[in-house]
Amino acid sequence: MKLAGKVALVTGAQQGIGAAIARALAGEGANVAVSWLDDRPAAEAVARDIAQTGRQAYLLKTDVSKVPEIEAMVAETVKVLGPPDILVNNAGVYPRVPLLEMKESDWDYLMDINLKAGCFATIAVARALIAAGRKGGSIINLSSQAVRGAVRGVHYSASKGGVVSMTRAMALELAPHSIRVNAIAPGLTDTAQPRYGNTDPELVEMARANIPLGGKLLTPGQIARTAVFLASDDSDATTGQVLHVNGGAYMP
């Protein structure tokens, strides 16, 4: 197993890509702290699946838009499972808003979750690893192919572009501690997010049809397998990178 004896913390792990990543990390031997917000039954289902692999799961109800809750989440993980060797900053939202109708509250709500949360979770985890005298660690941030621009998603595109720049800067700062920081930029994935707030289902279908590799939506499992690679020693020379997993729909 690639992650035997490791501790992972995954935010937004109650559903979708986050849930798939939590399950995949456990499948490779990691104990997993499952951070969730508003669907305890879904989070408990993820925890049960992790337990079936023989690994330990620990549920953490966390509003990652609030820094004190982020710090408490990391402290509780350290107390129960140990310092996280792996942090996946997956929690994110995408409330679609036309640019000319956007309010300050729309911008702040999204940025707090999509960008600020990942920064302060990384700080807390890196501090915990350093304090424990642990060398190494892997931080995985979730970006998006929306970095190229998204209609009714100026704030979302800005946040995911920020994730890319933040990832590179974090990689430089944490390299002396042998902590690697990378990002995954998923393409159109079969989760609730592409449809949430998207009033025209035909737009999703058109985007799906234009994916060169098979003309089909990605699965959360495909994104999760990329996360396993970045979390493991298979990527021990990889830091500051963005892996675009999108079936060829966007080739930067």
Alpha-carbon distances of 76 from 46, 55, 59, 219, rounded to whole Å:
19, 18, 10, 31
Query: Residue 63, Cβ neighbours under 10 Å: how many?
Result: 16
Q: Which residues 6+ apart lie within 8 Å of 25 measured at CB?
A: 3, 6, 8, 10, 32, 86, 88, 224, 227, 228, 231
Q: Which of 150, 177, 147 is nearest to 160 (CA)?
A: 147
Q: Which residues 6+ apart lie within 8 Å of 45 measured at CB?
A: none
Contact 185, 242 (CB under 8 A): yes
> Cα–Cα distance between 139 and 15 in angstroms, integer?
20
Rounding to the nearest 10 degrees, give the CA dihedral for residues 236, 87, 149, 109.
Answer: -160
DSSP label of 10: E
Q: At residue 153, what are phi and psi to the nearest 5 degrees?
A: -145, 40
Catalytic pick from 109, 156, 196, 250? 156
For helices 67-80 and 117-131, the axis angle rounded to 10 degrees is 30
Please indicate whether residue 196 is annotated as part of the active site: no
Query: Residue 183, Cβ neighbours under 10 Å: how many?
Result: 28
Q: At residue 131, what are phi and psi to the nearest 5 degrees?
A: -60, -30
Active-site positions read: 156
